[in-house]
Amino acid sequence: MEFFSEALVAMFIAITSIAVSRRRIGRFPVASREGKYIRGLGTTLISSPAVALYLVLGLVAPNAAAQINNIGLAIHVFNVGQGDSTLVIGPPPQHKTLLIDMGEELTGTRTHYKDIAAKLKTLIPNKKTIDYFVISHYHFDHIGTNLKTRQGSVGLWGLLDVEGYRIAKLVDRGDAVQIGPPTGPEDKLHQQIGAWLTSGAIKQRETAHLGTDQIDLGDKVIVEIVAVNGNGILEKVNQNNPTKFVRCPPSENDFSVALKISQGDFEYFTGGDLAGQNTSRQFGATCTSYNNVETSIASKVGNVEVMKINHHGSLYSSNSLFLKTLAPEFMIVTSGARNRYQHPSRQAMDRATKVGAVLITGGLSEKEWPGGSLLPGMQLVEDDVDILVEAGGRKYEILGVVHPSFSDVDEQKGLDRAHARDVVNKLNREHQ
């Protein structure tokens, strides 16, 4: 009761001071489809009573928007440049946490784990245990590694060994399915996982499987694993044509763990680096293949409000059928400034902007986007993207603006598509 009283006092102070914060979003011209320019959103965020209390309790970023009066779910897609990391905070009173990936960039200082730890201290203060940690797949830009350099531990290793965080349950793709050689971070994880389990840094490790029974964030939040290890597609191809993967084994991306997170009518998808095409890529002397897993899970995922674009907006992901089936109003791209992978791909963004608005957390490939010119419907945020969902999931807030969530019936009527068009049109009109 004493704590609650103190929280109310602090909430009152926050309200009477009319806490206002401003965020400036990136400023880049739009390509000349219609000769328009997207200069960025300047959003004024004013605290409501419920959000003021949420801030007092330390369960949302200080600059988070304040239109939602009763936050039941928060999704924070972190800006870690050309890497991935997302924090999901469940509803009160438990506020269980799910951290998806802990990526580092192959270039630069490779210390994003410090940035993420700082964000965790703000978002979940006085809590050093992550309830659930999902590794989408074993690549450096998703889990980091233990480097044999003066930098030492980065990514997941940095979070546990340097920052002192703990994980109650680690969920990853496991060790049973392996076609082709393992990645370096995968080898490092296999070497380290036993010590972490023994020391208690990780209390439990589970191999991901399809379904809703492995991650419980509480109060009608459903976390469904919709893909892991290619859902058997890769093994079937390997059995039917054993020579196919001899020269060009499947990319580690194809094994990604994909999640659908729902509360009421609000639905969110994140799928690691899943591919949407069958193709082979040559990286120096190494050949690897991308295999279309997206199409096989599209109908299972169904319509969503928001999704994180697969594989940082790669040319070989986010195929048209997948995007049209999920039909998100917002798509988030986690790509880094001046990245060498041509992320996000112009072709992938052309497909995406036909469906909804695209928000980019980090930056762009200069080769793919010379001069920073973007397509209409794209927004360079250069920051975290925070999604605050009202308890029950009827509406959500993103970049300071509240949007409705759509029921299956509404989606069948096309109301979500009409809203997506309005979002993109408004974005373009405001920044002509």
Question: DSSP states of 88-125 as a string?
Answer: EE--TTT--EEEE-----SSS---HHHHHHHHHHHHST
How many CB atoms lie under 10 A from the CB of residue 303?
Answer: 20
Structure confidence at residue 7 (pLDDT): 40
Give me the residue spans of the domains in the chain. 29-53+66-430
Structure confidence at residue 12 (pLDDT): 32
Residues 6+ apart with CB under 8 A from 395: 68, 266, 389, 402, 403, 404, 405
Structure confidence at residue 109 (pLDDT): 64
**Burial class of residue 371, CB neighbours in 10 A (0-12, 13-18, 19+):** exposed
CA distances from 202 to 28, 85, 118, 166, 205 (A): 43, 18, 20, 6, 7
Structure confidence at residue 149 (pLDDT): 53
Closest CA to 316 of 380, 253, 232, 233: 253
Per-residue confidence of the chain (432 residues) as pLDDT tens digits? 444 333 433 333 233 332 323 333 333 333 333 322 233 333 333 333 333 434 433 344 333 445 888 999 999 999 999 999 999 999 999 999 999 999 988 776 678 999 999 999 999 999 999 999 999 999 999 999 987 554 568 999 999 999 999 999 999 999 988 898 999 999 999 999 999 999 999 999 999 999 999 999 998 999 999 999 999 999 999 999 888 899 999 999 999 999 999 999 999 999 999 999 999 998 888 899 999 999 999 999 999 999 999 999 999 999 999 999 999 999 999 999 989 899 999 999 999 999 999 999 999 999 999 988 899 999 999 999 999 999 999 999 999 999 999 999 999 999 999 999 999 998 888 766
Q: What architecture (CATH level 2) is domain 29-53+66-430?
A: 4-Layer Sandwich (3.60)
Q: DSSP letter string over 302-367? A: ---SEEEPGGGG-TTSS-HHHHHHH--SEEEE---TT-TT-PSPHHHHHHHHTTSEEEESS---TT
Structure confidence at residue 371 (pLDDT): 86
Q: Which two tokens stand for residue 299?
A: 């109908």
CA torsion sign for 123, 128, 132, 134 is positive
Structure confidence at residue 431 (pLDDT): 64
Q: Which two tokens stand for residue 12?
A: 């009152």
Closest CA to 33 of 370, 344, 428: 428
Q: For residue 111, give the amino acid letter.
A: T
Q: Which two tokens stand for residue 88?
A: 């999901």
Q: What is the pTM of this model?
A: 0.86
What does the alpha-carbon distance between residue 327 and residue 306 come to, in Å, rounded to a whole number? 9
